[in-house]
Amino acid sequence: MSRSSKVAHIAHGASIWNTYKQAYAGLLRLGLPVLVTQVGIIVVSFADTMMVGAYGLDELAAAAFVNSFFMVAIVMQFGFAGGITPLIGALYSKGRRHEAGRTLRAGLQVNTMVSVFFMALMGTLYFFLDCFGQPEELLPLIRPYYLVILGSLLPMAIFNCCQQTANGTTDTAMPMWLILGANIFNIIGNYTLIFGHFGCPRLGLIGAGLSTLTARTGACIGILLCFSRRRRYREYWRGVLDSSPGVSALRREVWVTSYPVAIQSGVECALWTLGAVVSGWFGKVQLAAYQVVNTIAQLGFMIYLSVGTATSIRVANCTGVRDVTGIRRTAAAGLHLNLLLGTLASVVFLVWTRPLIHLFSPDEPVILAAMSLIVPLVLYQYGDAIQITYANALRGTSEVRPLLWVAVVSYLVIGAPLMLLMAVTAGMGTIGVYYSFSGALISASLLLWCSFSRVCRRKQKVWEVAADA
């Protein structure tokens, strides 16, 4: 490279930094508490898998099936709660706190109804657990653990709704501290109840479930107390207690912005649940390896999600004041950060492959099976980072309907058939399952980017016409 080319390259880099540095700072300020929260969740997930894996291979495989099975409902509940973030964010940017509280009231009502629906659905599926082709010896472990996790869905839904409301007001720190506290309690509970320490009975896998249920319930109670007692949320809480007419219209508004996000999240997660079911067809070693690598994969996903959440909040704030340039700049800054984080996560996966896997299982067959999944895991990091960024940017604009058809095309039309083709037809087993994720995520990334660009162009035209009128 010539001297003049180097100078031009450096000048171009400085120009990008000057353009986006405020957006980077804003995203990092909002995203750091979310990142700490996600790291806390990762630590608990790691601890769960490590402790259950140390207790026994059968318990690890049973936990893999149940956790993957429930992941669809849990992610859909979380995605549904995320639909309230752009509504709260837009009201917050306009200073309409009482109305934001009434929106939270409506959100709590709708999220509770959705959670009850999921509990009924998952409760019905409990009676058909023997129809999913899992090893017969795992069913006595699966059934009681399944029922305990079922009981944790409702407190999770309430917490999620309040957390997304706090995020919409740019307060990402309060939920962080609550989740970290619940995570510490969960780890201590696991140590106590799985292995029977401190005079408690040795409960194994069911002990892990009881610890999770208690921690999730405690976090739910804690966040409700914060909203009802803290000065920052006094006006919001008055709105929550306001039962004057108009809540039904707010419920419809919450529903319209929430259900596409829930379905998109659920369809995406369903592909990973299908991956667990298909992995179970090849034996409990493959299923345990799938659980171990999925747990490691959360290191990337949760970090990307923290930047995605911050992107959604900042885009919602810009949408509230009709700032299209701010929307585009925020999304671009979020993409830059997530691509950088995707690179760092990939380096960690490749350099510390065996030590990471050995944390969760000492069984050599499980370690070898899990090591074969690392390369396809690295391949899908960039697709995952991009699709998380643009999905959250779309959520921030409240234009969430594209998420529905993108999810159906990427994960059902492309991802699921590709998984069955590679894993079963081509005989690649769990390795084929993981390679199919790359195809689905790359498709989602491209479609979400196109949808976001189209939404920005449409909003710019509408707002320009309104400004000229």
In tens, the pLDDT along 141-186 reads: 788 888 888 888 899 899 989 988 888 888 878 888 888 888 888 8
Q: What one-character-per-residue DSSP string does 387-417 give?
A: HHHHHHHHHHHT--THHHHHHIIIIIIIIHH
What gap in Å lies between CA 28 and CA 236, rounded to an integer? 26
pLDDT of residue 176: 82
Average pLDDT over residues 374-397: 88
**Mind giving me the DSSP string for 341-383?**
HHHHHHHHHHHTHHHHHHTT---HHHHHHHHTTHHHHHHTHHH
Q: Are 220 and 155 in contact (CB under 8 A)?
A: yes
pLDDT of residue 210: 87
What lies within 8 Å, CB to CB, of 437 at 6+ separation is 271, 272, 275, 376, 380, 415, 419
Q: Which pLDDT band holds residue 28 (cuts at 50, 70, 90)?
A: confident
Whether the per-residue pLDDT at 445 is higher than 80: the answer is yes
pLDDT digits (tens, 9 = 90+) for 115-128: 999 999 988 988 88
Q: What is the pLDDT of residues 183-214, one digit of tens each?
A: 888 888 878 887 877 777 877 778 888 888 88
Per-residue pLDDT band for 447 (boundaries 50, 70, 90) equals very high
- Percentage above 70 pLDDT, the chain: 92
Copy the structure tokens of residue 250.
Answer: 């707010």
129-143, 292-306, 439-453, range with greatest mean pLDDT: 439-453
Mean pLDDT value of segment 350-368: 82
Amino acid letter, residue 375: V
Query: In the predicted model, what is the mean pLDDT of residues 25-42?
Result: 71
**Which tens digits make up the pLDDT trace of 400-414?**
788 888 999 999 999
* Model confidence, pTM: 0.72
Most confident of 121-135, 278-292, 372-386: 372-386
- For the segment 298-315, the average pLDDT, to the nearest whole number, is 81
Tokens of 346: 């990939």
Burial class (CB in 10 A: 0-12, 13-18, 19+), 128: exposed
The residue that leads in pLDDT, 214 or 303, is: 214
What tokens were used for 196?
A: 């029977």
Residue 44 has what pLDDT?
65
pLDDT confidence of residue 14:
54
Lowest-confidence region among 68-82, 173-187, 210-224: 68-82
